[in-house]
Amino acid sequence: MHATKLLSRAYSYIFLVVGLLIFIGPLLWLISTMLKTQAQTYVFPPELLPDPFTLGSFSRLFETMTLMPRWIMNSFIVASINGLGTIISSSLIAFGFARTKSRLRAPLFVIVLATLMIPSQVTLIPMYILFSKIGWYDTWLPLTIPVLLASPYFIFLFRQYFLTLPRELDEATYVDGGNYWTIYSRVVLPLSGPILISGFIFSFVFTWTDYFTPLIFIQSEKLQMMSVGLQLIMGKNAQDLPMMAAGSFLALLPIAIIYFSAQKYFVEGVVMSGIK
């Protein structure tokens, strides 16, 4: 029996290692490519370890794409705004669905969930016409305002977490003279750190990697996002594989830093959202 458990555990570790190699393989190849010279990328058979190592791809990237620092800063600003806006607006609406008492609460929540099934392409043309007529085209407003008005996905995520908090806390707050706002701001939010951090990470990553929205609503290159900037790199320097890999690495770096620095809260928030 003991041998069977050891064998089962060994198979599990082998499976995990193989899965890790499959998923980390493209990342290792990306790092290897950005450290090579252009000539080394065309060597056959391909070599994983560059000889010699070089960071010339980054210098060529910033020399060729002079707006690269601005694109990175634009994406960081917009993604941060959307992350904070998601926490504020979606958590407030989710609190209403999770803690208040109303006969309309369930039907309204069903309507909110139903909007998740509407493809973004369906609303693209009406949104484009609307934003163009009110003067929002070629600004960051179409990228931020819809997110600041709450998202059905995050409303659902926050609501599920809020339902795990004991209702006795609400009753104790009422006894102390509090109201719904007191419960939300001084009871629910302080106890919801993991899900709030998870919501910020999700919203930040969604915005950072979003290619379609900035491509449609922003025309000026100075206002453009990093995701569209990568496509511009590919269009102008398709033969310089190390430079393209360097740009992709810069796009991945902020996401990796945020995820690993808040991994504990991220996992806890996602797991607790499904437990009541």
| Domain ranges within the chain, ordered by starting residue | 59-272
Give the pLDDT score at 81: 92
Residue 275: the pLDDT is 45
Over range 149-160, report the average pLDDT: 86
pLDDT higher than threshold 90 for residue 210: no
| pLDDT at position 2 | 64
**Mean pLDDT, residues 153-178:** 83
When pLDDT is cut at 50, 70 and 90, the band that residue 3 belongs to is low
User: CATH 1.10.3720.10: does it fit domain 59-272?
Assistant: yes
pLDDT of residue 171 exceeding 70, the answer is yes
Cα 164 to Cα 91, 97, 113, 140, 199, distances in angstroms = 14, 13, 20, 36, 17
pLDDT of residue 40: 74
Would you state the pLDDT for residue 267? 61
Average pLDDT score over the chain: 82
Residue 214: cis peptide before it, omega within 30 degrees of 0: no
What pLDDT score was predicted for residue 238? 66
Q: What is the CA radius of gyration of the chain?
A: 24
Q: Which of 71-85, 148-162, 225-239 has the lowest mean pLDDT?
A: 225-239
Question: What's residue 271's pLDDT?
Answer: 55
CB 34 within 8 Å of CB 245: yes
Of 126, 128, 98, give the one whose Cα is nearest residue 112.
98
Give the angle 29-44-25 at the CA atoms, nearest 5°: 15
Per-residue pLDDT, averaged over 83-88, amounts to 90
On the question of pLDDT at 122 being above 50, the answer is: yes
Tokens of 245: 């890999």
Q: pLDDT tens across 31-79, in order?
A: 888 887 777 777 777 777 777 777 878 888 888 888 888 998 999 999 9
